Structure formats: structure tokens, C-alpha cells
């Protein structure tokens, strides 16, 4: 299992990257626009925070395959390190995935709502597919079930494509896709913070500390 931060906020990325076993950062146009700065400036800052090896995802906004390929070449030239280009699952997007595969530029198929969209993207050479779990749920679908189906299809057809489940509203959805076979998840900062939170943990820690210091004092090396 690998965990990605779904945000372009550099303060939050700095904090989460310090404490959590993060494999990279995913952005999309809405996430970048929120920062109110030129997007290249933001993604380059993110790169300097996470280092060269972790994956950084940037979405193409071009409509035709040629425009998408041009953007993919541009971002992978401008941004150092491990960059993955997110491409929406449209006919032009599917064509761009195949063209970029020939150039060895890694892609992620985004805006995935059905197992078939994921299957075609994987056949086109995408490295990842991103099912939008909460957005599927909002349409009275079942986001976790879609992830399960994708995992099953990739296994049956032995496709070398990973699921990067995205669009979560709560921790239960993240929990369920991890069990459904998603190799990776991208999660907003406020939900990552909840992953290790449990009310009795700080109480237990406090009790241990109080009992210890009663006898041994406050020197933490006094074991």
C-alpha cells in the first residue's frame, strides 16, 4: 500500500511529508487553482519539499491528444524528478496515453467512474487509474465496488496498471478501498490526519507517562 497527499498546499505537504510515509503528491486543476499562484511555481515548490524520488502528479488540461502530449512533454521537462501526467478518460485522453507510453512518459487515467474506463486506460498503457470513489457514491453508485471490479479485471488480464483510488470524503471509504485491493490511495490532508487518530491513544500515553514519572522522574533516558 502506498499513500499520496491529495493537495497542493505546501504548508500541509511539508507537515505531512515530515510525519507520514508518503509516496508522493497528487494535484488536479481545482487543487492548484486554490493556491492562487502560478501552477509551475507551486509544483516546483512541492518537488523541493518531497524530493526528486517521490511521485508528483500533474493533470493535463488539453482537449486533443496532441495538446495533451505537448503538455505532458512540457511538464516532464519543466518539473524535475518523478512526474506522472494525469489524463482524463476521454477518447482523446486514451489516445494520448498510448502515444505517451511510446515516449516512456508515465500517465494516470483520471476521472474514472467505471471499471470499463479503467480497463481501457490500462490497455492503453496508463501506469495508474484513479477511480473517484466519493463522486461515484454521490451519483448513487458504489465507489468501493468499482475499485473491487477494477482490481479483479487487472488480475484476470494480468495488466501492469495500479489503482490509485481518489476522491474521498471520509476515512471509511479509504479503509474500504484498501481492503478492496487498491494498491495506492490519494487522500486529502484532513483525512490523512484522522488515519492514526483514536481518542484513547493520547489518554493511554498520558497514563504511561504519569505512572513512569511517579517512580523514575522525568529523565526519558532513565529506563
Q: Where along the sequence are the contacts to ligand E4P (CB under 6 A)? A: 6, 26, 28, 110, 130, 132, 134-135, 166-167, 186
Cβ atoms within 10 Å of 200's Cβ, excluding its own? 8
Q: In whole angstroms, what separates CA 188 from the centre of its chain?
A: 9
Euclidean distance between CA atoms 50 and 45, whole angstroms:
9
Active site residue 86: yes
- The C-alpha angle 72, 73, 79, rounded to 5 degrees, equals 85
In the complex with ligand E4P, the residue whose CB is nearer, 88 or 125, is: 88
Distance of closest approach, residue 51 Cβ to ligand E4P, in angstroms: 20
In the complex with ligand E4P, the residue whose CB is nearer, 109 or 166, is: 166
In the complex with ligand E4P, the residue whose CB is nearer, 27 or 76, is: 27
Distance of closest approach, residue 79 Cβ to ligand E4P, in angstroms: 16
In the complex with ligand E4P, the residue whose CB is nearer, 140 or 214, is: 140
Euclidean distance between CA atoms 6 and 56, whole angstroms:
10
- Decide: helix, strand or coil at residue 187: strand
Catalytic residue among 86, 101, 169, 190: 86
Distance of closest approach, residue 194 Cβ to ligand E4P, in angstroms: 15
Is the distance from CB of 163 to CB of 151 less than 8 angstroms? yes
Classify residue 113 by its DSSP letter.
Answer: -
CA distances from 148 to 110, 145, 163, 174 (A): 17, 5, 10, 13
Catalytic residues: 86
Amino acid at each position: 500500500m502506498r499513500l499520496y497527499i491529495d493537495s497542493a498546499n505546501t504548508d500541509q505537504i511539508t507537515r505531512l511529508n515530515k510525519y507520514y510515509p508518503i509516496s508522493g503528491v497528487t494535484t488536479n486543476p481545482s487543487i492548484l487553482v486554490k493556491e492562487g499562484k502560478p501552477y509551475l511555481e507551486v509544483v516546483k515548490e512541492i518537488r523541493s519539499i518531497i524530493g526528486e524520488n517521490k511521485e508528483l502528479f500533474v493533470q493535463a488540461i488539453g482537449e486533443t491528444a496532441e495538446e495533451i502530449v505537448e503538455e505532458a512533454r512540457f511538464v516532464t521537462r519543466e518539473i524535475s524528478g518523478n512526474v506522472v501526467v494525469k489524463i482524463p478518460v476521454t477518447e482523446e485522453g486514451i489516445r494520448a496515453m498510448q502515444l505517451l507510453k511510446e515516449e516512456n512518459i508515465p500517465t494516470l487515467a483520471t476521472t474514472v467512474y467505471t471499471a470499463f474506463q479503467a480497463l481501457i486506460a490500462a490497455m492503453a498503457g496508463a501506469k495508474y487509474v484513479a477511480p473517484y470513489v466519493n463522486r461515484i457514491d454521490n451519483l448513487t453508485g458504489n465507489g468501493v465496488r468499482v475499485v473491487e471490479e477494477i482490481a479483479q479485471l487487472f488480475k484476470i488480464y494480468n495488466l501492469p496498471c495500479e489503482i490509485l483510488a481518489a476522491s474521498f470524503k471520509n476515512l471509511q471509504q479509504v479503509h474500504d478501498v484498501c481492503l478492496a485491493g487498491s494498491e495506492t490511495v490519494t487522500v486529502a490532508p484532513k483525512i490523512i490526519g484522522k488515519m492514526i487518530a483514536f481518542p484513547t491513544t493520547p489518554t493511554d500515553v498520558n497514563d504511561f507517562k504519569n505512572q513512569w514519572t511517579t517512580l523514575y522522574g522525568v529523565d526519558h533516558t532513565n529506563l
